[in-house]
């Protein structure tokens, strides 16, 4: 059953990839960098889940099977989602504020790494300390999304600001599911079996990556069609 869920995920990433490639061929006024980021997410994520579905990307650690390929996926794909969010927040601004983006990515990588180390940890104290660190890191990311990044989005036309608010809210809600599933799964309280844990991560990740990117790009394409998306020069 676990293998079935993994292949479903790979198929979903392939479908998302094809959709974004099709949209990129007809950008409709949306900068190509937006499509490049959206394409890279399912391409990278689908690769690592293919590795896992074929029996790789896993090891025995912390008294249970650890899918380290998940973390290899998340470290890059989650960072790319933050890039896409930042592009929406700063589309009409003269500067992209790279320092803020670099901070978001750095904290994200630290969060993912702490999750991997917690998953591999043998000692309960070490595991829960690392889990707590990762949770705090996620809260810091939320603070940056709804603090300085949202302030930048407010300086844009109302359509872009509202688009940012929508995609930021969806990302916030979806990402909250990851520490919850981790907590209830084999690395945490072990209330979920391996198959259920995998199924929940698969479904959440499909929506978080392909679903979220469809909303983000779709809103930008709608704004462009109405002439409300500033043309970058």
Whether domain 2-225 has CATH 3.40.50.450: the reply is no
- Residue 64 pairs in a beta bridge with 61
Predicted pLDDT at 232: 58
Model pLDDT for residues 184-228, shown as the tens digit of each residue: 999 999 898 888 999 999 999 999 999 999 999 999 999 999 987
Whole-number Å distance between alpha carbons of 63 and 49: 22
Domain ranges of the chain: 2-225
Whole-number Å distance between alpha carbons of 47 and 169: 28
The pTM score is 0.94
Which among 228, 81, 225, 222 is positioned nearest to 156, based on CA atoms? 228
- The values of phi and psi at residue 60, to 5°, are -85, 120
| 185 contact partners, CB below 8 Å, separation of at least 6 | 191, 192, 196, 197, 200
Asked if residues 160 and 92 have their Cβ atoms less than 8 Å apart, the reply is yes
pLDDT band at 1 (very low <50, low <70, confident <90, very high): low
């Amino acid at each position: 059953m676990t293998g079935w869920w993994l292949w479903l995920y790979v198929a979903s990433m392939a479908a998302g990839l094809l959709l974004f490639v099709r949209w990129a061929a007809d950008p409709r006024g949306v900068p190509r960098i937006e499509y490049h980021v959206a394409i890279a997410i399912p391409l990278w994520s689908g690769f690592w889940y293919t590795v896992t579905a074929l029996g790789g990307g896993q090891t025995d650690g912390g008294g249970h099977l650890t899918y380290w390929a998940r973390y290899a996926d998340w470290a890059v794909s989650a960072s790319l989602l933050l890039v896409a969010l930042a592009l929406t927040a700063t589309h009409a601004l003269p500067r992209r504020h790279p320092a803020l983006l670099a901070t978001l990515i750095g904290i994200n990588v630290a969060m993912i790494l702490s999750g991997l180390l917690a998953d591999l940890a043998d000692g309960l104290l070490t595991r829960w300390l690392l889990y707590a660190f990762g949770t705090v890191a996620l809260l810091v990311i939320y603070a940056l999304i709804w603090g300085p990044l949202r302030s930048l989005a407010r300086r844009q036309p109302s359509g872009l600001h509202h688009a940012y608010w929508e995609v930021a809210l969806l990302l916030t809600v979806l990402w909250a599911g990851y520490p919850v599933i981790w907590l209830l799964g084999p690395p945490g309280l072990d209330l979920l079996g391996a198959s259920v844990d995998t199924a929940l991560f698969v479904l959440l990740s499909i929506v978080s990556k392909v679903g979220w990117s469809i909303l983000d790009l779709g809103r930008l394409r709608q704004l462009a069609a109405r002439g409300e998306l500033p043309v970058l020069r």
